[in-house]
Amino acid sequence: MAGRFFATVNCYPHDTGANQPRLRIRLFNVAKEQWPEDLIVPIDTGFSGAVMLPSSSYDFFMIGELPRKLWKDYRTMTGPLQMRVARALVETEQASIETIVETPLAGAGKLLIGRAILKDLAVLLDGPAKLSCLMKPHDEAHGD
């Protein structure tokens, strides 16, 4: 299989407490209003969704919510979890992704990105250096 080369766009340190990999993102609601600050967001490969938000942050996105009957539910190890769902735009230093943000219908929620975002990005998890790096394809394949 041919090798592939990537160049580093930027790297972000893992969370110091949980040693969890993270990426920087910028969020916009459907009115193209930007969330006031860039976010360094934990990556959770066990989460099949896109972006989960704390319920307090989700309010900013409620001007583009999906109908309640289309809100998403998740299978978790502790039982089903019902979410609220709104349209949003996620920007990284490498891509702009039209997606959804979610927060639990009951409970506080938390900030993380899941596989529905990762599928659009090239990310290097450098465990020994405790860094997560956003990558971009550098050249066409080399090798055998």
Partner 1 sequence: MLTETDRDNEFYESEEAELETQYKGRYVLISGARLVGVFDSIEAAGKAIRSLSPRPTHAILTKMGQDERMSGEWLAGSLQR
Residues that bind partner 1 (CB under 8 A): 18, 20, 30-33, 42, 44-49, 59, 62-78, 81, 87, 98, 110, 112, 114
Q: Which is nearer to partner 1, 17 or 143 (CB)?
A: 17
Q: Which is nearer to partner 1, 62 or 129 (CB)?
A: 62
23 burial level (CB within 10 Å; 0-12, 13-18, 19+) = buried
Min separation Cβ 61 and partner 1, Å:
10
Measure Cα distances from 71 to 6, 37, 95, 98, 102 in Å: 37, 26, 26, 17, 9
Q: Which is nearer to partner 1, 33 or 126 (CB)?
A: 33
Cα 126 to Cα 21: distance, rounded to the nearest angstrom:
9
Min separation Cβ 96 and partner 1, Å:
12
Min separation Cβ 65 and partner 1, Å:
6
H or E element, residue 27: strand 22-28
- Judge whether 43 and 132 are in contact, CB under 8 Å: yes
Q: Which is nearer to partner 1, 8 or 76 (CB)?
A: 76
Query: In the 8-state DSSP scheme, what is residue 58?
Result: H
Min separation Cβ 30 and partner 1, Å:
5
Cα 128 to Cα 44: distance, rounded to the nearest angstrom:
18
